[in-house]
Amino acid sequence: MLRSESVLKMFAAAGLALAGWAAPAAAADATKVALVPGGPHPYFAAWEKAGQDAMKDFKLGAADYRVPQKWELSQQNSLLESLLSQGYNAFLVFPGDPVGSNSTVAELTENGAPVIATAGCLKEPTTALFCFGTDTGNSAYLGTKELIKAMGGKGRIVHLTGFLVDPNTQLRIDAVEKAAKETNGAVSVVQVIADIDAPEPAEEKINAYLAAHANDVDGIVTTAWVPAVVASNALRKIGDKRIKMVGIDHDEVVLKAIKDGYVNGTMLQNPYGQGYIGSYALDRIRNGCKVKAGAPFKTIALTNRFIDSGTVYADKDAVDNYVGSMQAITKKIFADFASTYLTCP
């Protein structure tokens, strides 16, 4: 049986140990950026390196990648509130919910911390400076056009996509439909399988569908990370390369499948550029710059203050240099970002 005195000593030791891990506070006026995704997802892994590079290049107090332990709005809200209490004073946030995150974002900005909605947008009205992410509808449209080209301009498409509660999903569904309709009936979308941007449902639904209907399908377009990985593996198993596919993002499985000819290409997004340029923009804002009135923002379904972080199609010839492609996009956007979107004293 534990004696109470020894238990108390143990507690004190644990407390001291935990206290020792608390990082020292940075200078009060330094920009401390927190890059906070909605939850763990491989798409956001590039944010960590982007934050580190931005901290070094722009001499920030911090630019730390902080991940909520689960995809829960409440978890993300708690983490954001905690980070503000810890002294972070600028935030790149992938909104856990385009509407429900607005309240927390408003609290951050009310406490003097500017916020950029990153990789996903907040629904207007919002106190976030702007939204900096992929034009998901355009990316899905361009990807589908590439797929139709690979299919020879005719055939039946299956669209594999993300969570229905994500407003981007409907935009992607509409964009794929739009590209198919432009063929005047030569191409049709025979099935949309949604809510599968997680390994278990993706494995179950994609494999079940292909087991039953592989012969009825000529092309697959995926507009979410996990379905792209699972579909790439499924086509490798089928092995005949009859079904054409255009994926999304840069998972190693997808890139290898492109090299080996099982997948035709992928629509690259630019998470590194989002983290790097976003951190830079927040630092400039904290140092007196303002968002330029009349800046050439795009308008999308959720907001009229949208900046496209770039998307590019990578096929077999371009896949080896996908890092270079993403860096080139970042460099291009960064070159005139301040002069295009900010007014500085």
Partner 1 sequence: MNAPTSVEGAAMAESEPPARDDGLSQKGAPGWTRFLLTNEFGLVTLIVIFGAVFALGTPGFSSPFNLFTLGRTMAIDIMIGFSMMVVIVTGGLNLSVGAIGVCVAIGCGWLLEVAGAPLALAIFAALALGAALGALNGVLIVRSGLHSFIITLATMSVFFGLMLFLTHANAYRQVPLEFSAFGKMRFAGYLSPLLLVSIAIGLLLAGLYRFTPLGREMLAAGAKAAAAELSGVRVGRTIVICHALSGVLAGIAAVMVVARTGAAIPQMAGNLGQDWLLPAFLGPVLGGTLLAGGRASVLGTFLGAALVSELTNGLLQFRIGEFWVQTWLGLLLLLAVLMDLARRSFLARRGV
Q: What does the binding site for partner 1 look like in residue numbers (CB under 8 A)?
A: 1-4, 7, 10-11, 14-16, 18-19, 21-23, 25, 40, 66-74, 77-79, 81-82, 84-87, 97-100, 102-104, 106-107, 111, 123, 164-165
* Minimum CB–partner distance for residue 200 and partner 1 (Å): 12
Three-state DSSP class for residue 32: strand
User: Closer CB to partner 1, residue 19 or residue 212?
Assistant: 19
* Minimum CB–partner distance for residue 143 and partner 1 (Å): 24
* Minimum CB–partner distance for residue 91 and partner 1 (Å): 14
Distance CA 208, CA 202 (A): 10
Number of H helices, E strands in the chain: 12, 14
User: Closer CB to partner 1, residue 127 or residue 183?
Assistant: 127
Distance CA 70, CA 276 (A): 24
Three-state DSSP class for residue 137: helix
User: Closer CB to partner 1, residue 69 or residue 339?
Assistant: 69
Q: Are 247 and 232 in contact (CB under 8 A)?
A: yes
Listed in sequence order, the DSSP H helices in 22-120 are 45-58, 73-85, 102-110
* Minimum CB–partner distance for residue 3 and partner 1 (Å): 7
* Minimum CB–partner distance for residue 67 and partner 1 (Å): 5
Distance CA 121, CA 98 (A): 6
User: Closer CB to partner 1, residue 79 or residue 342?
Assistant: 79
Q: Which residue type occupies 221?
A: V
Question: Which of 199, 337, 323 has its CA nearest to residue 268?
Answer: 323
User: Closer CB to partner 1, residue 114 or residue 273?
Assistant: 114
User: Closer CB to partner 1, residue 43 or residue 341?
Assistant: 43
Distance CA 109, CA 153 (A): 49
Beta bridge partners of residue 92, listed in sequence order: 35, 116
* Minimum CB–partner distance for residue 301 and partner 1 (Å): 13
